[in-house]
Structure 1
Amino acid sequence: MSARDRLLALLTEEPADVTGPWLDLVRGRPGSRGRIQDAWESTSGAGGYDGLLALGDQVEAYVPALVGGGNLRAFYRVDDRLGLVGGETVLDLACGPGTLTRRLARAVGRDGLVIGVDLSEPMLTRAARSTAFAQVDFVRADAMDLPFHDAAVDAVSCSLCLHLVPDLVTTLTEITRVLRPAGAAAFAVPAHAPGPLRPFTEMFARWGQARLFGPGDLAGALRDLGWSGVSERSLGGIRVVDASAPV
């Protein structure tokens, strides 16, 4: 069975067109989600983001731990954080240009399935073009209204997404719904800078119309929804949170 056929079986609705490089399950264009999300909706913004992620992906193995290499590896190696062994169905939410999607595909192998989801058409176009794995497919969807059946996936990777959603609890509730009980999730969210630098990050968040996360913000929201095994660490400007869905 192809990745497309396996994906279609997990969806709660049938797309109008099933022949393209990705399936579109967003009706029209959503209203603006803020300046940062608007940039990701543009071809130039998607290209710049792709280049930045690609650079980190190429160098993370070589950066010494003393200068942040461990933190960089924690962000990129979501397959290790999820404990993937092969054969899993994984949702890569806010997949962007597919940088982490490709790592997840290698981890699940040909018996697995990786579903890259993003709201940005330019991001999905780049991801589909650069991800030549038979076990991968892509969907355009809203993180607050995921078009999947309950408990459809075994694991979720959600990096640099939650700061852009209008309603955090709605998004986390949707992730909880589509993830199987006790399934693993690996999150990464942008964080406030510490001490005297915090006013600058607050100013940037207001300008970009995005949310930045303080210590315990995301971890606490997950615990409130019944998640367990919640761990959090700071990677400088990024907070990494790993957790298991409610049983």
Structure 2
Amino acid sequence: MSARDRLVALLAEPPADRGGPWLDLVEGRPGSRGRLQDAWESTTGAGGYDGVLGIGDRVEAYVPDLLGGSLLRSFYRVDERLGLAGGETVLDLACGPGTLTRRLARAVGRRGLVIGADLSEPMLERAARSTPFAQVDFARMDAMDLPLRDATVDALSCSLCLHLVPDLATSLAEITRVLRPGGSAAFAVPAHAPGPLRAFSEVLAQVGQARFFGPGDLASTLRRRGFSEVRERSLGGIRVVDAVAPV
């Protein structure tokens, strides 16, 4: 069975069109979700984001721990944070150009399935071109209205997505719903600057019409939703949070 067939089998409703390098599973055309999200919806923005992520992907193995290498690796090695052993079904929510998707694909192997999901069509086009794995398929999805059935994925990667959604509670409810009980989740979100510099990061968030997270913000929210084994680490301007879905 192809990755496309396996993905379709997990959907709440069959797609209208099963052709193309990725499925469009978004109802209608969502309006603007802020300046930063609008940038990722453009070809130029997607290309710039791809370039930045690509640099980190190439150098993370060589950066010494004293220069933040261990924290950099914790962002990119999401497959290790999820504890993937092979054969799992993984949702890479906000997959962007597919940088982390490819790592996840190697980890789950041919028996597994990785679903790369993003709202940006230019991002999905880049991801589909650069991810030649039979166990991967891509789909355009809205993080606040995931088209998957309940408890359909074993693990979920959600890197640099939650700061862009208009309603954080709705997105986390959807993430909890599609994860199987006890499934692993790995998040990465932009962080507010510490101390007096926070005012500067708040301005950046307002300009980009995005949400930044303070220490413990996401971790405490996940705990209130029943997630366990919640662990948060700071990676400069990014907070990395891992958790286990409610049982």
Aligned mates of 1:132, 1:74 — CA distance in 2: 24
Shift of 1:100: 0.1
The separation in 1 between residues aligned to 2:50 and 2:176, in whole angstroms, is: 28
Question: Counterparts of 1:178-193 in structure 2 under 5 Å?
Answer: 178-193=178-193
Which residue does the alignment assign to 1:44?
44
Q: What CA distance in whole angstroms lies between the structure 2 residues aligned with 1:27 and 1:246? A: 28
Moved over 2 A (4+): none
Q: Provide Cα deviations, 1:27-60, integer angstroms capped at 9, x if missing partner.
A: 3320110000000000000000000000000000
- Counterpart residue number, 2:152: 152
What aligned pairs does 1:1-247 form with structure 2 within 5 A after superposition? Answer: 1-247=1-247
> With structure 2 as the length reference, what TM-score do the two structures score?
0.99
What is the distance in 1 between the residues matched to 2:188 and 2:27?
28
Residue identity over aligned pairs, in percent, reads 80
Deviations 1:99-147 (A, max 9, x none): 0000000000000000000000000000000000000001101000000
Deviation at 1:95, TM superposition (A): 0.2
1:38 and 1:29 map into 2 onto residues whose CA distance is 13
Cα separation, 1, equivalents of 2:27 and 2:237: 34
User: In 2, Cα distance between the equivalents of 1:243 and 1:26?
Assistant: 27
Q: Distance in 1 between matches of 2:120 and 2:15?
A: 17
Q: Which amino acid aligns with 2:180?
A: R
The alignment's C-alpha RMSD in Å is 0.6
Query: Please, which runs of 5 or more residues in structure 1 have no aligned partner?
Result: none
After superposition, the C-alpha distances for 1:212-237 in whole angstroms (9 at most, x for unaligned) are 00011101111111111111111111
Following superposition, the deviation at residue 2 of structure 1 comes to 0.6
- CA distance in 1: counterparts of 2:113 and 2:178, whole angstroms: 15
Q: Which amino acid aligns with 2:246?
A: P
Unaligned 5+ runs, structure 2: none
1:27 and 1:161 mapped to 2: Cα distance? 19
Q: Which amino acid aligns with 1:129?
A: R
Partner Cα separation in structure 2 for residue 13 and residue 48 of structure 1:
34
Whole-angstrom CA distance in 2 between matches of 1:165 and 1:4: 27
